[in-house]
């Protein structure tokens, strides 16, 4: 599955959101600290929204493990967070499960507190230790994604 993973991240680099969305199985699940529990369709729309909103996104990736039905990737996303104008360097570990040549599950893990400090600044970062910041970010991100899907079904 290393070819699928390589093409997936290369598609991110060139903002090919159609290709990215097509890689998710119809019953796929995506999760990360900001967007927990998305369907495959929602994951495709999430990438479309994020890639359209990020004018200066840079991606580097390294495939750590790749097998017939699983893969693990370390990737780094560098971008300006659109809500605050702050520069972010987010280090992510993605684990994938595949079925019939499609992504069945994708779980992206990153340090939310580190991300919050860069993207949101000191005060929200301080509250991230209580979980309040993460919950608010998840709610805001979910609303943004729902609005985006309504505008661009």
21-73: pLDDT as tens digits: 999 999 999 999 999 999 999 999 999 999 999 989 999 999 999 999 999 99
**What is residue 130's predicted lDDT score, i.e. its pLDDT?**
72
Best CA proximity match to 4, nearest among 80, 87, 66, 89: 66
- CA distances to 22, 69, 82, 96, 129 from 34, in Å: 22, 26, 15, 18, 15
Domain 2-151: give its CATH architecture.
Roll (3.10)
Return the pLDDT at 124: 65
Residue 2: predicted pLDDT: 87
CA distance 113 to 33: 10
pLDDT in tens, 7-17: 999 999 999 99
pLDDT band at 125 (very low <50, low <70, confident <90, very high): low
Asked if residue 146 has pLDDT above 80, the reply is yes
Q: How many helices (H) and strands (E) does the chain have?
A: 6, 6
* pTM given for the model: 0.93
Phi and psi torsions of 126, nearest 5°: -60, -40
In the chain, where are the structural domains located? 2-151
Among 61, 120, 125, CA closest to 93: 61
Position 8 scores a pLDDT of 98
- The one-character DSSP state at 36 is -
- pLDDT digit string (tens) for 67-113? 999 999 999 999 999 889 999 999 999 999 999 999 999 999 999 98
Separation of alpha carbons 35 and 90, rounded Å:
15
């Amino acid at each position: 599955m290393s070819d699928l993973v390589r093409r997936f991240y290369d598609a991110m680099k060139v903002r090919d959101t159609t290709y990215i969305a097509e890689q998710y199985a119809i019953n796929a699940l995506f999760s990360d600290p900001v967007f927990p529990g998305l369907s495959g369709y929602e994951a495709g729309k999430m990438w479309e929204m994020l890639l359209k909103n990020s004018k200066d996104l840079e991606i580097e990736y390294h495939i750590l493990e790749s097998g017939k039905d699983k893969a693990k990737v370390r990737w780094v996303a560098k971008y300006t967070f659109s809500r605050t104008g702050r520069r972010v360097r987010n280090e992510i570990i993605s684990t994938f499960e595949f079925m019939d040549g499609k992504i069945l599950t994708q779980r992206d893990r990153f340090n939310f507190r580190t991300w919050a400090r860069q993207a949101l600044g000191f005060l929200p970062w301080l509250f991230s230790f209580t979980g309040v910041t993460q919950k608010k970010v998840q709610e805001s991100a979910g609303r943004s994604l729902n609005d985006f899907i309504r505008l661009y079904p």
